[in-house]
Structure 1
Amino acid sequence: MTSAESGHTRIIESVRAVPAVSGFFFDDQRAIKAGAEQDGFAYRGDPVTPGFDRVRQAGEAVSVLLELSDGTVARGDCAAVQYSGAGGRDSLFRAPEFAPVIEEIVSDSLVGRAAGQFRDNADILEGLTTDGERLHTAIRYGVSQALLDAAAIARHGTKTDVLADTYGTVPASDPVPVFGQSGDNRRKNAEKMLLKGVPVLPHGLFNSVEKVGSDGERLVEYLAWLSNRAVELGPEGYDPRFHVDVYGILGELFVPPYDRAEIADYFADLREAAAPFPLQVEGPMDVGGREEQIYAMAELRDGLADAGVNVDIVADEWCNTFEDVRAFVDAGAADVVQIKTPDLGGIGRSAEAVLYCDGTDTRAYLGGTCNETVTSARACAHVALATDAAQTLAKPGMGFDEGYMVMENEMRRAISRRKARTKQIGTKETPNETRR
């Protein structure tokens, strides 16, 4: 009997949805970019994006519990990104509004199905609709995590095993590099990352002109500081990759076309400040639509290549769904694409998006959001391993330490279990060729 068949005797007997809290907050990105004034941890001013009651409000989630016929319970958490409703994403996720959808529409479709059939169950979930529209991405995200957990329980294996069987991969034999995010405490948290030898850092949350500098000077200064501190604080042989997210702000400082010498010169300044460490810049501009964003990103990438400026650019805005990821990769519009896990819906779609980057010159960053939960983050750790992504995000939360611990430890446990099982059955696995 194969691993895919062994779990078919366990049946999904019930589906419950429990409103829960997430690891951070929902922020109205449009209001913040328009100048909402920070007031301590909150923001003053009125929200702009539909669904928001205030510019910053508490994050919400829904825990999904699948009870199986042997009494075990599989779990997944529905969560949405911090900047919900922005850049083409689904609307704000309200737990009380969407929990009944799970207990009615989703439950009716999954109860009675075999727990071990992850892909079939996930495909059914992806096809469900309400009022003629697909289910909110957060619902598909959380329920699919529970389906993945159920399949792992049914097959007596790890979630990495289920995904590897489903997509025909050989998982990474070492933890995928974790990308730490600092939040606004970008210096102290970066120092924490350096002391712990985090492979990719620090995100930085440069989401306003004030933080980047009216001429971009503050970002240059920060990278120079970070490079110096990496040498001073990092462990012996430490060779991190710097990754900063600028939330489209550079597009407000530098007008198109983006292949102009002025812009290449600025990126050369960033490169020099970060030296000797490699640098990637996420979301350099946000031009308001997918096709327009692809054009602008490709233009910038070509301009940097022509000028010999070795800075990688990362797609984020308007790169939300699997179809979006495919469009950016096909156009060669980025060196790295962020696969923002809650925005793709079912967690299997994130795995497919990572694998779509194979054989291209675009690397896959399995991201997500600080506004997830420990449950959803742990599920993503298995996606990262099963697909051998280039990097994966430390999540949830913005405190750094907790999210790094969650992701790193989950991957180490899964690798240990796989190695122990391989030793028991007397077989040897061949590690994936590196894609990093």
Structure 2
Amino acid sequence: MQIVDVLFAPTNGAFFYDDQAAIREGREHDGVAYLGEPVTQGFTSVRQPSKALSIGLMLDDGSVSWGDMVSVQYSGAAGRDPLFDQERIESFCREVMVSRLRGLDLVEGAKLCDEVMRYHDGKRLPLAVEYGVSQAFLKAAAYARKLTLAEVIAEWLGLAAPTEAVPIFAQSGDDRRNAVDTMILKQVDVLPHGLINSAEKFGRAGETFADYVSWVAQRIAQLGAEGYKPVLHFDVYGWIGLGVGTDPRAIAEYIARVAERVPSYTLNIECPADYGTRAAQIDNYAAIVEHVNQLADNARVVADEHCNTLDDIEAFIQARAAHVIQVKTPDVGNLLDTARAIIAAREAGIGAYSGGTSAETDESARACVHVALASRATMMLAKPGMGVNEGITIVGNEQARTLATIRTRLSRELSDAG
């Protein structure tokens, strides 16, 4: 089965692109919008709608396999690729990618994906291009073999087809109280993210955030079903460092104090501080992890900022600079690199969180489910968007259907063999 044509469709992400640097400077939050001028290059406002570009691979039987090129909510921050530009990305793809893809035979499947992602003019492809093209290509390869994408990636990894679900992590956005109720009622595995991205949400010395953590635990006790014990995961966007100070011991002590408030829960703290560079992030996070290990049995540090590509992730793993690493899928690019990163973290005994961003699309979210399943991620993000129900539905249903397909296929193979 061959690729006979390449299609493009301008599409929308599910949330916004936000200028993180401007928000950290204290831009006023006015309803959904942020007031004031942007800081990061490429932004025309502090918050602007996320955009995507769909790439479709038409096969010789007339079917089309789609993938979505998109960037993360906080584009251009912490070493990430610049803000996504639909026109620029489409122009690049028409110039470079169409000729690479048209005429390819999918018989070799995933093995060809890395070749498609080869450098252009001595430079790596834009990560958004890697991300969307790898989605479309790997899905086309799976279609050609009448398999799920999860089975194709697992085979490429040398693993059996997945049969166990990956825990799902939902994010609240700014509706951080009503969203928690929704998550509890739907018994989400990991919650609530919290979007603690400003001084107002963190508090002068972190008291506002600590009170919120306590409230979440109390709400679980009030609304949760018997035996329901989710992991508590909060993204603080560097605000422990901004509010408490950047000394690793001081940060660990603050995390331990918060963890004492919820002793019966595992507490994940994502991005406690931003040290500005990858090297500084790794050195200081390794120290924070060491101190947290001494101070709190139930707390874990999650790496995100400056931990973008597979190379970044491998450096964090080597330094043991996190208890859990977010493999932020659009920042990693090629979906096979996401699989590689998850496997590397797991083999090192570090949690592998298959993440992403609210700015993604339904198409990219579904593709990521298969990668998380195939590589046995520790948990995966319910995405896209900041609406709890939507992300849970898209990711949860894709996982359920995929596992039902694989389990039935395996059962039939055993029956036929018997």
Structure 2 counterpart SS, 1:426: helix
1:176 & 1:99 partners in 2: Cα distance?
A: 34
Specify which of 250, 253, 261 is matched with residue 273 of structure 1: 261
The one-character-per-residue Cα deviations of 1:236-265 (angstroms, maximum 9, x if unpaired) are 2211000000001111122232124xx443
Structure 2 counterpart SS, 1:173: coil
Structure 2: which 5+ residue stretches go unaligned? none
Specify which of 269, 286, 307 is matched with residue 319 of structure 1: 307
2:253 & 2:96 partners in 1: Cα distance?
A: 54
Shift of 1:114: 1.0
* Structure-1 residue corresponding to 2:281: 293
Specify which of 330, 333, 344 is matched with residue 345 of structure 1: 333
* Structure-2 residue corresponding to 1:64: 55
2:10 & 2:141 partners in 1: Cα distance?
A: 24
**Matched AA of 2:307:** C
Q: How does 1:136-285 map to 2 (within 5 A)?
A: 136-260=126-250, 263-285=251-273
Task: Please report the TM-score for the alignment, with normalisation by the length of structure 1.
Answer: 0.93
- Does the CA contact (< 8 Å) of 1:181 and 1:203 recur in 2? yes
* Structure-1 residue corresponding to 2:72: 81
- Does the CA contact (< 8 Å) of 2:332 and 2:338 recur in 1? yes
* Structure-1 residue corresponding to 2:359: 371
1:400 & 1:161 partners in 2: Cα distance?
A: 28
Moved over 4 A (4+): none
1:318 & 1:200 partners in 2: Cα distance?
A: 23
The one-character-per-residue Cα deviations of 1:253-302 (angstroms, maximum 9, x if unpaired) are 22232124xx4432222112223211010000001000100111111111
* Structure-2 residue corresponding to 1:418: 406
Shift of 1:117: 2.8
Shift of 1:306: 2.4
* Structure-1 residue corresponding to 2:384: 396
The one-character-per-residue Cα deviations of 1:113-149 (angstroms, maximum 9, x if unpaired) are 11243334311232142x5432210111001000011
Please state if 1:328 is matched with 2:328.
no
Please state if 1:54 is matched with 2:45.
yes
Q: How does 1:1-80 map to 2 (within 5 A)?
A: 10-80=1-71
- Does the CA contact (< 8 Å) of 1:280 and 1:313 recur in 2? yes
**Matched AA of 2:208:** R
Which has the higher mean CA deviation after the structures are superposed, 374-383 or 416-425?
A: 416-425
Which has the higher mean CA deviation after the structures are superposed, 186-195 or 132-141?
A: 132-141
1:274 & 1:29 partners in 2: Cα distance?
A: 29
1:172 & 1:165 partners in 2: Cα distance?
A: 10
Structure 2 counterpart SS, 1:63: strand
- Does the CA contact (< 8 Å) of 1:137 and 1:343 recur in 2? yes
2:162 & 2:85 partners in 1: Cα distance?
A: 36
**Matched AA of 1:191:** D
- Does the CA contact (< 8 Å) of 2:163 and 2:406 recur in 1? no
- Does the CA contact (< 8 Å) of 2:172 and 2:388 recur in 1? yes
* Structure-2 residue corresponding to 1:5: none
Which has the higher mean CA deviation after the structures are superposed, 392-401 or 299-308?
A: 299-308
Q: How does 1:353-368 map to 2 (within 5 A)?
A: 353-368=341-356
Structure 1: which 5+ residue stretches go unaligned? 1-9, 429-436
Shift of 1:45: 1.1
Which has the higher mean CA deviation after the structures are superposed, 360-369 or 263-272?
A: 263-272
1:23 & 1:193 partners in 2: Cα distance?
A: 19
Task: Please report the TM-score for the alignment, with normalisation by the length of structure 2.
Answer: 0.97
2:107 & 2:359 partners in 1: Cα distance?
A: 29
2:132 & 2:246 partners in 1: Cα distance?
A: 39
Structure 1 counterpart SS, 2:347: coil
Cα 1:214–1:171 change in 2 (3 A) is farther
1:111 & 1:124 partners in 2: Cα distance?
A: 14
**Matched AA of 2:103:** G
- Does the CA contact (< 8 Å) of 2:111 and 2:156 recur in 1? no
2:321 & 2:4 partners in 1: Cα distance?
A: 45
2:123 & 2:18 partners in 1: Cα distance?
A: 25
RMSD over aligned CA atoms reads 1.5
- Does the CA contact (< 8 Å) of 2:246 and 2:273 recur in 1? no
* Structure-1 residue corresponding to 2:115: 124
Cα 1:423–1:310 change in 2 (3 A) is closer
- Does the CA contact (< 8 Å) of 1:116 and 1:150 recur in 2? no
The one-character-per-residue Cα deviations of 1:162-201 (angstroms, maximum 9, x if unpaired) are 1011111234422200000000101100110000000000
* Structure-2 residue corresponding to 1:104: 95
* Structure-2 residue corresponding to 1:434: none
Cα 1:84–1:273 change in 2 (3 A) is same
1:370 & 1:340 partners in 2: Cα distance?
A: 11
Shift of 1:108: 0.4
Alignment size in residue pairs:
417
1:55 & 1:116 partners in 2: Cα distance?
A: 46
Shift of 1:102: 1.6
Percentage of matched positions with identical amino acids: 43
